[in-house]
Amino acid sequence: MDHRSLSGEKKKNVFRRFADALVKYWPYYLMMLFPAVIIIIYKIVPLYGLQIAFKEYYPRIGIEDSEWVGFAHFKKFFTGSDFLRVFANTLYLNFLKILFGFPAPILLALAFNAVSGKIFQRTTQIISYIPQFLSWVIVYGFMYMLFNYNYGALNLLLEGMGLEKVPFLASEKWIVPMLIFSYVWKNIGWGSIVYFAALGNINTDYYEAAEIDGASKWSKLIYITLPLLLPIMTLMFLIQIGTLLYGDFEQNLIFMGMNSLLRKRGEILETYMYNLGIGNQQYSFATAVGIFQSVFGATLVIISNFLTKRLNGYSIW
């Protein structure tokens, strides 16, 4: 039997196994159909439009007839006066969000796990999840009622104590702390779900053995709980590292508003692309910025995955 017949036989076997699996597991393939269609429509098909980053695109003439300009838009972005400011703002804000937002759900999950009363535990968990389902408009409304300069609850308290009021939401000095505080408050409860579920899967035999050996609660936390949480912590950390150049568009847009002073500190790549692409109709330039953002994020994930694998042995792949 020659090489061609062997290759043809292998192809037939592969096709036969696929057909058998399709018949046997057709309900599962049917379940995958709808999400697959959604991914194709919203993730795969739009890739065709990425070429406008390398063209001088005008909607009236279409993508195909637009003139190729190569990397002109990328060069314009990297050499522009706004590049360093927007890039630094995005990195700085997201670094702070990781610094404060990454450990916060872990600490909250550990606190939930330490609570003995089930009713109190479940009630506080549900309350902590609620902010995740609120839009940033509503979150800003809460922040406005609490931190508004004229009649916010905190400033009224400061005024009543004879202290000077603080423009929390209208000051270049305070905009970053307000963004970080609202981000952590909104996401801490929802982020703790993964860690709380992981804590529930830890074998209690480890703790029982540690108690027999006279280990304290602190020792069990350091030498049992945290090491067993390390794989899921690594996964969540890598996911957040990949979004280091992806800020919360709605949050920054709402908190900054039309205040030019706040935009100096709070403008990120998303709001920058929105102002250019939608506001100034520079679609090609905004697309080029988006491609840079995606490539930078993918590179960070690859590097972080390699480093975490070398340091603690855990990685995504």
Question: What's the pLDDT tens digit per position in 208-223?
Answer: 888 888 888 888 888 8
Average pLDDT over residues 146-158: 91
pLDDT at 137: 92
Tens digit of each residue's pLDDT (9 = 90 or more) over 24-60 = 888 888 898 899 999 999 889 988 988 999 999 988 8
pLDDT at 311 over 80: no
pLDDT in tens, 89-100: 999 999 999 999
For 139-149, write each residue's pLDDT tens digit: 999 999 999 98
The two tokens of residue 163 are 């202290």
- 0.85 exceeded by pTM: no
What pLDDT score does 6 carry? 45
Q: What are phi and psi of 16, to 5 degrees?
A: -65, -40
The per-residue pLDDT for 165 is 92
What pLDDT shows up at residue 128?
Answer: 92
Beta bridge partners of 68: 55
Is a pLDDT exceeding 80 seen at residue 198? yes
Nearest-CA neighbor of 289 among 306, 269, 311, 309? 269
pLDDT of 77 over the 70 cut: yes
**Which pLDDT tens digit goes with each residue over 177-189?**
999 999 999 999 9
Q: What is the pLDDT of residue 138?
A: 93
Task: Write down the pLDDT at residue 19.
Answer: 82
CA distance 166 to 108: 29
pLDDT given for residue 10 in this prediction:
60
Q: Which has the closest alpha carbon to 226: 115, 110, 310?
A: 110
CA–CA distance, 167 with 142 (Å, rounded to integer) = 15
| Domains parsed from the chain with CATH numbers | 3-56 (no CATH), 72-312 (1.10.3720.10)
pLDDT digits (tens, 9 = 90+) for 275-310: 888 788 889 999 999 899 888 888 888 888 787 777
Q: Which of the four pLDDT bands, split at 50, 70 and 90, describes residue 315? A: low
DSSP state of 52: G
Cβ-proximal residues to 82 (8 Å cutoff; 6+ apart), any chain = 272
Mean pLDDT of the chain: 86
